[in-house]
Amino acid sequence: MTRYADIPKPIRSGIVVVDPERGTPQRIIVLQFNPDTLERSLAPQAAGGAGDGGGGGGGSGGDRNEALRLKGPAEETWKFTAEIDATDQFDVAAPDGIHPELATLEMLVHPTTAQLLEASRLTKKGTIEISPIEMPLTLFTWGSKRVMPVRLTELSINESAFDVNLNPIRASLSIGMKVLSVSDLPAGHRGADLYMAHLAQKERLARAARSGGLAALGLAGRDAGPGRG
């Protein structure tokens, strides 16, 4: 008889906030439930697109020379819905409901009060140019084969249940992320190295896929050269 203890626990997805200088985790956010679905989008960075003056079939010879060229890695975005439910964790005290969990995620898109006060101090001091506040490096993990540097682009929260003190105890969160590639990060940045590892993992998985045959496409006996009339 199979015992419950013998059933492997599923790996959780989550977010790791990393110190970009030391590479050490500052905070690990484990999602309470793995999202049921993921929406991913990849937009190629084509070299001869409309933004570069390309005009389709009427483009110049220079545009046609760029048709198969890429300026960098594809721009990849992720969207999913995460659920947080304090009623599913009766063994964990929650005097503040799920406020702490929500605040942890919200701080991924907020600078800290210390950073804002420092920026204000520099402004009062007369500093001419103040650099935008740099946030910690954020990684999204979906199993061991998907670990990538990201920036949150969307965080929409729907609170659907509250305790007697109006603390939220159940919420769904729509989360959007942009994968940060070597096109987004400076050379030598730890996030750029992590992106390269993420891309190398894709290459390994692609090599593991079985290749089809021309016969399956109805092209048996034909080569990959110019089409025949």
Q: Report pLDDT for 65.
A: 82
Q: Which residues of 124-159 are buried (b: 16+ CB within 10 A; e: fewer)?
A: eeeeeeeeeeebebbbbbbeeebebbbbbeebeeeb
Cβ count within 10 A of residue 2: 6
Calculate the CA 147 to chain-centre distance.
Answer: 9
Low pLDDT (below 70) residues in the chain: 1-6, 49-62, 89-92, 128, 221-229
Give per-residue pLDDT as tens, 18-76: 987 788 899 999 999 999 999 999 999 988 765 454 444 455 555 778 888 889 999 99
Cα–Cα distance list, 166 to 87, 139, 160 (Å): 14, 32, 11
- Say how many CA atoms lie within 13 Å of 207 toward its Cβ: 6
According to DSSP H, which parts of 46-151 are helical?
61-65, 99-106, 113-125
